Amino acid sequence: MSQQTTLSPEMLACIELCRRCQMVCLGMATGHCLEKGGRHVEPEHLRTMIVCAEICQAAANVMTTNSTLHRQVCAVCADICDACISSCRDLDEMEECIFACERCKNSCEAMTSV
């Protein structure tokens, strides 16, 4: 039996949402925000987006192992996604990041009790 078949459909969905959020946050930080300039490149905002991308990747990787330790990582991931949402909310043209973070946050919150 392969490792993939031992993961629940909900966990597989969360892994994909985390991976998507990682790609969106990193891509927008290094693309849109750098090109836009101004408040989009303030150090704390860029750091938040990069940290969000990193924790999303870590959460996806931990869930892939099927370890129960995913609960703690997913809780942190949800918190950091929330911080990224707050950071992006006041800036223009950040809807894609906000949407990806909201979906990842909600899914990770659900994974904290699975």
What is the distance between the alpha carbons of residues 70 and 23, in angstroms, rounded to a whole number? Answer: 20
pLDDT value of position 6: 85
Task: Work out the number of other CB atoms within 10 angstroms of the CB of residue 67.
Answer: 11
Give CA–CA dist 102/92, Å, rounded: 17
pTM of the complete model beyond 0.95: no
Residue range 33-83, pLDDT digits in tens: 999 999 999 999 999 999 999 999 999 999 999 999 999 999 999 999 999
